[in-house]
Structures are given as C-alpha cells and as structure tokens.
C-alpha cells in the first residue's frame, strides 16, 4: 500500500474534499503537477483543468478553476475559485 497524506480542497463556499489520499494530480499555471507523500513544501498558482485524486477506495476526477496549491507538513491544500465533479 502506498503512503498517504492529508488533502483538502477548499472553495469560497466551503470544503469540497477532505481526506487521506495516495496521489493528487492538479493543473498549475505552468503545467500539470503530481503530488505523493513526502513531497517537499511548495506553494504554487493553480490553473484551470483536470484534478485527479487517488485514495485507498478509488479515484475521483474533478475540474478546478484557478487558485493556489500549498504543500506543507505532509498536507496538501488546494484553494480554488471553483471545483466540481468531472
């Protein structure tokens, strides 16, 4: 089993996703980023496009529109203007 880490996706209207994940792929302003447990801290600007979340239960696909990504202390937080199921 892959190592997991905490992921939160937050919009102005509230949280869209909160939970333990094994992998997250999200659109950044300069390309697609992939995050796994143990990634170094980072702060980046989100773009618009496809988000993939892998958990022990399966995969979730969403669409994001702008915002920021922050990885710190083993937790990924995506602050986005809009997120919806793909």
| pLDDT the model gives residue 86 | 81
Confidence at residue 80, expressed as pLDDT on a 0 to 100 scale: 96
Residues of the chain under the 50 pLDDT cut: 1
Question: Exposure of 85 by Cβ count < 10 A (0-12 exposed, 13-18 middle, 19+ buried)?
Answer: exposed
In this prediction the pTM is 0.92
Half-sphere exposure of 71 (CA within 13 A, CB side): 19
pLDDT of residue 2: 67
CATH class of 5-85: mainly beta
């Amino acid at each position: 089993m892959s190592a997991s880490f905490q992921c939160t996706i937050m919009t102005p209207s509230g949280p869209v996703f909160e939970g333990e994940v094994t992998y997250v792929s999200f659109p950044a302003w300069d390309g697609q980023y992939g995050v796994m447990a143990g990634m170094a801290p980072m702060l980046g600007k989100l773009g618009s496009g496809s988000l993939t979340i892998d958990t022990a239960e399966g995969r979730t696909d969403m669409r994001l529109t702008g915002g920021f990504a922050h990885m710190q202390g083993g937790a990924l937080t995506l602050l986005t203007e809009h997120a919806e199921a793909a």
